[in-house]
Structure 1
């Protein structure tokens, strides 16, 4: 099977999804294939089970997609400084992968989008890291060697790519935010390739 990087995200308004696809562009520029996957929305009242394949957009992630990846980019919108419950719920189901060590020594990174500059981007990125550490993954941030990290007036952190979408999610990704997503994907792809050759 061809090695691939899994880009796993949850997105409600589309910004995190756009970031996922830009990160995939960076991974592919580094020379690795990608699988882009999402997770289903959660409901506090279960009336009917959601379809196993969404009506549109990226398909839902399976544990098998995660187990067989050569690296992971994990993305979520901010929810009061934390990852979205939809993504957390999926990660809570990964105990079998933890028991088997399926993700050990694989590179990983995180990315996020928030409605405001002070929407908790950095704490959200940090909230996504503990499950990855528990799985034994190797965490990659963004290097300040990339000028966009120092020049951005919107999203972008050393912990991972980020975007400020506006209170009504009306702001598109800035040139710097796009560049940082692509750079993060390239860095992840390059690290995975080095590990695959080792």
Structure 2
């Protein structure tokens, strides 16, 4: 299916609401349109089950509508929401500068700051220096984002293990989850991911935020 076919099929479903859950979602939240065009943040064609997933931004929210399609029948199989998952490596130090932390790894740093720098809110300063590595900012499932991050970090195992030992490096996960019916679920760590994190000496921390309107 082309992007245009996927968009047209989703627009049809949002109009006709053939799935009861589509009607439930659209009663409380709306997709984003720009110049009367339905906005899609990402189309995932790389799933092991061969389904296509289209992630659509939700108006004034940080989570996404997730529409699953069968490319064989070109039909929608389900409509759901997907949390906004921020999955990244973070190393911090009260003694080392951001430049010194960056020098420990060959990987690209997404964000960094020095102890004493002003925070984005402009009201306080950081109490420590830090570097953040977040290679995947697109909407995706948590498990895929974690696997992709680990694959990236493994490209510089020496540097990451040094940041772990000298700057408290670890994996931070922040999730913005839709609270439709109070059953928000939670992250799943498979044995392989746990083993890969252990090999790098990594801990993982979760910060879960519940957002949005409940079903009526």
Higher helix share: 1
Same structural fold, with TM-score higher than 0.5 when normalized by the shorter chain: no
Q: TM-score, normalised by structure 2?
A: 0.28
Higher strand share: 2
Structure number with greater Rg is 2
Which structure has more relative contact order (CA 8 Å, sep 6+)? It is 1
